[in-house]
Structure 1
């Protein structure tokens, strides 16, 4: 056994919290049922040791790990000490690790890339060497180039362990690391953890519900819990001596871990057995409180505790800088997106080609558009599809691509690696350039139907407007995904909001003069109003539409010289619009005396406000992800 420098102690820890699963609505209206989950728990574990926390479902195993990691929200009492110093949240984040039961890794990354892009203070050659060492220790070297979505359960669990080991923790907590693994892989995972504990000098605490006998040699310590009470904690070999001394020897050929687990479990098969087992466990708990102190603190092996002057050594070593973490996150996002694996190709295609493909389909439908009277309505319909396409493709892409990164963020934020602002900043730095290139390509496809490439600035403004709409809808959906876990519900909600805005504010499906006053003034608060007005002005003041267009190939409307579309319709139902300006007047002018280019169709106003909406939503999300949400909301994304 190597010399050890760290010891973790829990002294008389109590914890009260939620004792049953309830819905979010019940939480909001005070329907939380709480109770004491951990009762006077004391334990000790040294560096280089593996401790198994055993107990049936509901015994408090996971709650114990959450208390140690400072993730619980309910009231706690007692002391949690690392080398005789309080284990604060900042100390845990810097010196400890927690492998949760479920961890969602970013698809498209290989095993080696997942480890390399874990934020740590290491960089460059040192980090690459550390990654190779951890992969070798966890028997992952042979799958270093395999994507995470193609790993077996055992390989995935070992990779989750590697993500924490890459940070050199002095204490490592694991919640059910062998759950749903076959016996061979269970043995492999436990043996690897035991070797890692001794090699790195890490104190490992793991929970198990059904321990096998073949893992017994790898466990230096064990803690039995029953409904939050400690039945036994101490060395696994001393456990046999203790239970034998109090009259509960383990029968020969029995798995001692499982035998004493059954002894620590309430028997619910009948009322009589329930009362008898309950009484027996209460007796065991009281007996251990009186006689078990020597077993709890006993040091296993040749531990040499050198805590330095005063019995303390520095615990806080500092965290990587925000710049270093941000660059790691950005590199990870780009690597996952530009990967030549299936997931990477899917992400790249969605980001770059979904909008151009939609606009190409529109081009196929509208490419034979003739310059007759019906082109006014046709062009307005095309603008509706163009505007809706930018909004809805932004929503769909966000719903497909963002949740996986959001979930990983919520899980890593619990480890204190980074916050929401840094996460969104790096994500937008990756996403926004893709959306601009995609919008530019899409605009090049559809713009010839609405304008002319002779004026390159018109094309540039056209691209900017659609890009702003895309970004706004994407950021709007990201804001909804902040509190709505189900991506389908978030998509429906975001699409519903967008449909209302486009319907009422675009002036296409309903003219502005047809709106009631309160609805008209409400449109000032929507981006679709300004984006649609800009696109209509750009389209219908095209030189092609300056003169009266014929009704068809045989009927001419060249004698039209009025701007009042209603008067024209009354005199000649075939020739409704003398020019594009008349069409704009019909759709946007609420008062016939209005000047057409003032107010709602102002060029600079519409361009500036449309871009301001997109920028405002970007900034709003940065602040939204700073706001501390209720624990039960955040917990939904971390399960």
Structure 2
């Protein structure tokens, strides 16, 4: 519904930015190559109109959209006004929309769910009605219950448009919405955009590299760009009149959009053609500056202003309508995460398996290997392996779960954060509210499978402590991997880095693969800064300080270490048999440097200290991630997740 007439005006806009891809180090050092990308761009578009920005690759089409949306980082000057109010980031985020060329929607959600769980001020019945209306307008009603991963390319593009239309933007920018679509779907998408612009009173600006003739009737305005210069901007039908007047009439049976696009493109097939076409385009640019004023339909002129400023002049902007509250946005994001996890679709079932059944399945396999443990001397080695596998299972499965589950939600967050919908802390809180309860149920069930091999359910508190320590390790591994995934896009690279760090900690600090007392002094003290030290000490205490292991164990059914004669005892000892008289002696060898502090309340195996510090590490990693997501990242780091 058209509530009023909106006018977006650009006047004398210049933009300088990166003109060539640069490496990560070049970007950090600021040594990337920059240049002028947009040169003196002026245009106007009204509500209910569709404006096509046409140009070859590198002409500045996307840069123009980024300048309007306030997403550029380089210096910009000129005027961008929406109803005579300077366009700043807050104004754009609240009243405009941007459909990027690539958008990663969450697998497992249906078309209707993707639209419904987009944060807006609408709630309840009004939002459901709006969703149904948008689906009907975009010809998506027949696939409302189809998951995003099962959509065709055209349906996926229309869904991306719908996610922006659900917010009722007055200006909608679209970067190559018809890219790689067949002629029929190209016509469908452009016609739908034209109808939506009329119905909702939205001014639509879209970029196209190869416009077809059948979309000509749907375009009220066009803007031709060549290397940042304006060759023509104005009414589509007036375009024919203008180019005919300056001596370039469109031949009959030619596509006028494509004909004048070729006229505005540098010919690089040979040096001579390059020079000739360059001179011709420069002449066209100068010609339009002199004679094109009437075709712009009264575009604004005036002194340049820095676009980085606010609204200025103390003007109260009626266009600002406010944003949905943090609680409303948080509930929407939480509901979306929960629905995606509990979805009965393939992607949802996979998430549910990873969250609930992956860890119990691994621990069940461990139980199959360790179920026949007997109380002989070899049980010290076997139980050490069991503790090691429990720790590795908690850490490595936590890492793998984060690698498989987190990236799709992370990428969606980075894309939505550009729209000002919510911040990193809110996203991380909602993600943890979904992830942590599932991980507790999963680890508790897994612990119930293995705990009977270590202790007895006669004392439920001991089982609970066993499960809680493994849960804390699982959470720590998840959060550590999520912190890495914040700056590393590659899932494989993040997994390798996180696993490498964890392997080092387990090797040095667990006391299982290598005795702690054998470490160098600086490594010994370094182990105090790892969670593995405390978790492993707790699990080993719970495993080896049980009544059955406080007495000397026989070597096997035929050999009793306490009754063997001296020759047998000496031979057995030299071979490593009957090495430990009891579990306490084993722990002294693995953890104590002076054999005096292991069994005391303030020693390395202190019960309360180990369980407390293990959870302190997990909680500290959660809090660290919250602060990490509040720190502004370099634009090039965030950009690789958005596009």
TM-score normalised by the chain length of structure 2: 0.95
CA distance, structure 1, for counterparts of residue 220 and residue 494 of structure 2: 48
User: Per-residue CA shift, 1:183-238, capped at 9, x if unaligned?
Assistant: 00000000000000000000000000000000000000000000000000000001
The structural deviation recorded for 1:506 is: 0.1
CA distances 1:237-271 after superposition (whole Å, capped 9, x unpaired): 01111111111111111110000000000011111
C-alpha displacement at 1:292, in angstroms? 0.9
Corresponding position: 1:468 with 2:479:
no
TM-aligned CA deviation for residue 290 of structure 1: 1.0
| 2:379 alignment partner in structure 1 | 375
> Aligned equivalents of 1:619 and 1:552: distance in 2?
50
**2:642 is aligned with 1:638:** yes
- The correspondence of residues 168-179 of structure 1 with structure 2, limited to 5 A, is 168-179=168-179
Would you say the 8 A contact 1:50–1:204 is kept in 2?
A: yes
Choose from 567, 576, 580 the match for 1:577. 580
Say if 2:2 and 2:200, in contact at 8 Å, map to a contact too.
Answer: no
Equivalent position of 2:306 in the other structure: none
Cα distance in 2 for residues equivalent to 1:573 and 1:416: 65
Which of 481, 487, 502 is equivalent to 1:498?
A: 502
| Consecutive aligned runs of 4 or more in structure 1 exceeding 6 Å deviation | 310-313, 566-569
Indicate which of 423, 429, 432 corresponds to 1:428.
Answer: 432
Count of aligned pairs: 624
Aligned twin of 2:195: 195
Kindly provide the CA deviation profile for residues 101-142 of structure 1, in whole angstroms up to 9, marking residues without a partner as x.
000000000000000000000000000000000000000000
- Residue 22 of structure 1 deviates from its aligned partner by 1.7
Question: Using the alignment, how far apart are the partners of 1:527 and 1:383 within structure 2?
Answer: 15
- Deviation of 1:596 (Å): 2.7
Instruction: Specify which of 436, 442, 448 is matched with residue 438 of structure 1.
Output: 442
1:590 corresponds in structure 2 to 593
SS of 2:58's equivalent in the other structure is coil
Give the whole-Å Cα distance in 2 for the aligned partners of 1:520 and 1:583. Answer: 19
Distance of aligned partners of 1:410 and 1:568 in 2 relative to their CA distance in 1, 3 Å threshold: farther
Check the 8 A contact 2:399/2:478 in 1, yes or no: yes
User: Is the Cα contact below 8 Å between 2:97 and 2:169 reproduced in 1?
Assistant: yes
Aligned equivalents of 1:422, 1:405: Cα separation in 2: 13
Structure 1 residues 305-334: Cα deviation after superposition (integer angstroms, max 9, x where no partner): xxxxx9996110000000000000000000
Is contact 1:69–1:92 with CA below 8 Å preserved after alignment? yes
Instruction: Determine the structure 1 residue equivalent to 2:151.
Output: 151
Once residues 360 and 415 of structure 2 are traced to their aligned partners in structure 1, the CA distance between those partners, rounded to angstroms, is 34
Q: Relative to structure 2, which stretch is displaced further, 82-91 or 541-550?
A: 541-550
Asked if 1:525 corresponds to 2:505, the answer is no
Deviations 1:404-427 (A, max 9, x none): 000000000001000100000000
Tell me the SS of whatever aligns to 1:601: coil
- In 1: Cα distance, 2:514 partner to 2:294 partner: 82
SS at match of 1:600: coil
Report if the CA contact (8 A) 1:476-1:617 is conserved: yes
Equivalent residue for 2:266?
266
The offset of 1:298, in angstroms, is 5.5
Q: 8 Å contact 1:52–1:207 — kept in the other structure?
A: yes
Aligned match of 1:239: 239
Does the C-alpha gap of structure 1 residues 568 and 49 become closer, same or farther in structure 2, counting only changes over 3 Å? farther
Within a 5 Å distance, the mapping from 1:622-637 to structure 2 comes to: 622-637=626-641
Secondary structure at the aligned position of 1:385 is classed as helix
Unmatched 5+ stretches in structure 2: 300-313
| Alpha-carbon separation, structure 2, partners of 1:160 and 1:573 | 67
CA deviation after TM superposition for structure 1 residue 516, in Å: 0.9
SS in structure 1 at match of 2:44: strand
Moved more, 120-129 or 310-319: 310-319
- Residue 125 of structure 2 corresponds to 125
Question: What is the DSSP-based 3-state SS (H/G/I as helix, E as strand, rest coil) of the residue aligned with 1:106?
Answer: coil
**Shift in alpha-carbon separation, 1:568–1:221, aligned structure 2, 3 A:** farther
Other structure's SS at 1:37 match: strand
Alpha-carbon distance between aligned partners in 1 of 2:330 and 2:598, rounded to the nearest angstrom: 51
- C-alpha deviation, 1:378, in angstroms: 0.7
In structure 2, how many angstroms separate the alpha carbons of the residues matched to 1:33 and 1:12?
A: 24
Give the match's secondary structure for 2:98.
Answer: strand
Deviation at 1:286, TM superposition (A): 0.6
Unaligned runs of 5+ in 1: 300-309, 561-565
Change (3 A) 1:567 1:389: farther
* Partner Cα separation in structure 1 for residue 337 and residue 3 of structure 2: 41
1:571: how far off?
8.3
Aligned partners of 2:12 and 2:79 also within 8 Å:
yes
Report the alpha carbon displacement of residue 593 of structure 1 after superposing the two structures with TM.
Answer: 3.7
Mark the CA change 1:568 to 1:503 in structure 2 (over 3 Å): closer, same or farther. Answer: farther
> Could you tell me how far apart the structure 2 residues matched to 1:617 and 1:39 are?
48
Alpha-carbon separation, structure 1, partners of 2:571 and 2:105? 64
| Match of residue 333 from structure 2 | 329
Contact 1:508 1:587 in 2 (8 A): yes
Q: C-alpha separation between the residues in 1 aligned to 2:576 and 2:219? A: 91
Give the alignment's Cα RMSD to 1 decimal.
Answer: 1.8
- Aligned residue runs from structure 1 range 156-555, under 5 A: 156-297=156-297, 314-555=318-559
SS at match of 1:98: strand
- Shift of the 556–208 alpha-carbon distance from structure 1 to 2, 3 Å rule, reads same
CA contact (8 A) 2:508 2:514 kept: yes
- CA offsets 1:383-423 (integer angstroms, 9 cap, x no match): 00010000000000100010000000000000100010000
> Aligned partners of 1:180 and 1:85: how far apart in 2?
37
Task: Give the whole-Å Cα distance in 2 for the aligned partners of 1:573 and 1:110.
Answer: 62
